[in-house]
Amino acid sequence: EDSEVGLCKASMELGTRSRRRSPEPGPGRGADYLSALPDDLLLLVLARLGCAAAAARTGLLARRWRGLWARLRDLAFRDVAFPSLQVALGRVAVPPPAVSLLEIRVPGKIRPAADAVTSLLRAAARLAPEKLVFGLTGHLPLQDPNPAGVDLPCFHRATSIVLEWIPFVLRAPAAGGEFPALLKLSLTGCKVDDLGTLLSLCPRLRVLRLKSLIWLGGDDLTTVHSASLQELVMESIWTHRVDIVAPILKQLTLSSWAEAQVSISILAPMIQNVSWQWLYDNGTIGFGLWTLEKLRLQTAQRQGQLPSLLIHASKLV
């Protein structure tokens, strides 16, 4: 009981007004019919709150509700500080039953240490969620040339993983690690140590979305090799070389800008839909009195339409 009260107090770090614990039903106060419902129905009520921290605070209202939140299969922690998250994840029982969704969005008031992020990801992996959303809201990628690293644990049951704005270098699991069930992977605002190695650990990956990524390494090469990939989206990528090998890729969306000439190699014989837009800094590529500003290629959206190629250029004064 004491540990549950401690968890509830920790979850109140969200900045909400403090609440007094409601007295237990007693003479003259009427029966607590809601708390008399079966656990399965109470869990449905808690699930409607859409927030694990809010569900945990219901334990302050009545003893009957204490600990029930930890049995939710969809767990969302938004704007909860790191210490409270460690406590909360430790309260959730290891599957079965399985966790369907685990969403963790940490506020950007204080930048956590890389070790703390690694520890929290390991705690998340312990729950074996089917879908994982992990984001450090408001934390921009570090510009440090030697930033600290975060080790990604293996999520063996996850079919979808979304990682956003992690201000450290993401390192793939060690040899032997794999994401055997992963179908969708989305990385936004992250630094990836070795994207090629990470993708090699995802044998069933179908959809890959990359946005605002910064790769490390002197060769500045972005490698996407996947035998299973069917949809690839790359937006706002800082790279000078792109190498894509995807035998069954059907849809490609590529949108970014270049400060210098970019080398792009694509081997995708099954491609059907392409949306390609590349922005160039003034003077990056010139021909005669003209300098290239934007290049856009779009395949036909409907049967009977023709593909389009748009070239925007400006004349040098």
Give, for all 317 residues of the chain, the pLDDT tens digit: 433 443 444 444 433 333 444 444 444 455 666 777 777 877 788 777 878 877 777 777 777 778 778 888 899 998 787 878 888 888 888 877 789 999 999 877 777 889 999 999 999 999 999 999 999 876 555 556 677 899 999 999 999 999 999 888 999 998 778 999 999 999 998 888 889 999 999 999 999 999 988 765 556 778 899 999 999 999 988 777 889 999 999 999 998 877 667 788 999 999 999 998 888 776 666 677 778 788 888 887 777 777 888 887 887 66
Q: What residues contact 292, with CB distance under 8 A and at least 6 apart?
A: 280, 284, 285, 286, 311, 312, 313
Mapping DSSP to helix (H, G, I), strand (E, B) and coil, where does residue 153 land?
Answer: coil
pLDDT of residue 284: 63
pLDDT of residue 282: 65
Q: Kindly list the strands in the beta sheet with 149-151, ordered across the sheet, starting from the edge strand earlier in the chain.
A: 149-151, 169-171, 191-192, 214-215
Let me know the angle formed at the C-alpha of 110 by 81 and 168, rounded to the nearest 5 degrees. Answer: 100
pLDDT of residue 50: 77
For the chain, the domains span 36-279
pLDDT of residue 153: 95
Q: Which one-letter DSSP state was computed for residue 143?
A: -
* 90, 71, 178, 135: CA torsion to nearest 10: -70
Residue 201 and residue 178 in contact, taking contact as beta carbons nearer than 8 Å: yes
CA 183, CA 115: separation in Å to the nearest integer?
Answer: 28
Residue 298 and residue 276 in contact, taking contact as beta carbons nearer than 8 Å: yes
Which residue type does 135 have? G
CA 119, CA 137: separation in Å to the nearest integer?
Answer: 18
Phi, psi of 114 (to 5 degrees): -60, -40
Let me know the angle formed at the C-alpha of 75 by 169 and 63, rounded to the nearest 5 degrees. Answer: 135
**Nearest to 91, CA basis, from 55, 134, 47:** 55
DSSP symbols for 23-34 = PPP-TTT---TT
Phi, psi of 166 (to 5 degrees): -95, 115
CA 212, CA 81: separation in Å to the nearest integer?
Answer: 25
Q: What residues contact 317, with CB distance under 8 A and at least 6 apart?
A: none
How does strand 101-106 pair with strand 74-78? parallel
Phi, psi of 282 (to 5 degrees): -55, 125
Q: What residues contact 294, with CB distance under 8 A and at least 6 apart?
A: 277, 278, 279, 280, 310, 311, 312
**Nearest to 101, CA basis, from 134, 68, 66:** 134
- How many beta carbons lie within 10 A of that of residue 66, not counting itself? 19
